[in-house]
Amino acid sequence: MPELPEVETIRRDLEKLIVGKKVLNIETNSPKQVQPSLEAVRKAIVGTTIKKIQRKAKILQIFFSNSTIIIVHLKLTGRLLVREKGDREDDWQHITLSLSGGKELRFADARKFGWFRLLKDEKELQKIFKEFGPEPFDDLTLPVFEKILGSTIRPVKVVLMDQRRISGVGNIYASEALFLAGIDPKRPANKISPTEVKKLYDSLEKVLKLGLRYRGSSDNDYLDALGHKGSYQEHFLVYSRQGQKCPTCSGLIKRIVLGGRGTFHCSRCQK
């Protein structure tokens, strides 16, 4: 699933490519993915102009000139692509926004778990984001992070990925950060020492920054808004490297299942 670096890379692309464009039409061949309905969305946004693109957690927000907002969740396999009108149809293309200047914003999604959702205004948006935890590089400060980990006995990796606790971190960046910090993903979050918490906090920021620098990781379906792959997967230390040598100790990287998700770690380096 695209995480903070992937969704943020798309946001930055969209900001350059579609802000200022007028919406001419929206069409879909997968009506369930457009909420509350294609008709409602069409009525709300056709004729408006795209004002700005924001992101919180793994959710993108497209703001229109009449104060309506569309939030987009890519879920497992969603892609947002900016193409020219008349370009070859994209694989799994399900939603198309026709824009001025001959552009199209396309939503492609192999598994069809992603969605577009219309919101009336910013108030509605704030209501949704009340349920989300603080965001790295923003309100997730070290003291806040300490408090989050200290308040639960759940495994630290499960807490890192819990969107109600911390926004934007998923399986890839949680696995990589825990490896860098030398912490066993199964450890109860409240049993981690203050020194280790600091190390984990710094490691999390480090891997998220690397993810941004490499324009995301395309280990799965992720592509940026121009349809290009990210390259952070070429720099993974443990994620999806089970059976390969640990880059630090040459022991074997193991895959375990934790909170229902594949988790990659080195049991020698992570205690």
Q: Catalytic positions, please? A: 2-3, 58, 261
Smallest Cα–Cα separation from 163: which of 73, 78, 35, 228? 73
Residue 20 interacts with Zn ion (CB under 5 A): yes or no: no
- Count Cα atoms within 13 angstroms, Cβ side, for 79: 26
Least distance between Zn ion and beta carbon 156 (Å): 18
Residue 249 interacts with Zn ion (CB under 5 A): yes or no: yes
Give the per-residue SS3 of 235-267.
Answer: HCCCCCCCCCECCCCCCECEEEEECCEEEEECC
Residue 169 interacts with Zn ion (CB under 5 A): yes or no: no
DSSP 215: T
Selected range binding Zn ion among 62-70, 129-137, 198-206, 239-247, rule: CB under 5 A = 239-247
Region class of 92: left (phi > 0), else alpha (psi between -120 and 50), else beta? left
Least distance between Zn ion and beta carbon 246 (Å): 3
Nearer to Zn ion, 149 or 253 (CB): 253
Least distance between Zn ion and beta carbon 251 (Å): 5
Selected range binding Zn ion among 20-28, 90-98, 139-147, 240-248, rule: CB under 5 A = 240-248
**DSSP reduced 3-state for 155:** strand
Selected range binding Zn ion among 15-23, 32-40, 122-130, 246-254, rule: CB under 5 A = 246-254
Residue 238 interacts with Zn ion (CB under 5 A): yes or no: no
Q: Binding residue for Zn ion (CB under 5 A) from 76, 248, 254, 261?
A: 248
Rounded Cα distance between 76 and 202, Å, is 27
What is the length of the chain? 271
Which residues in this chain contact Zn ion in the complex, by CB under 5 A?
246, 248-249, 251, 266, 268-269
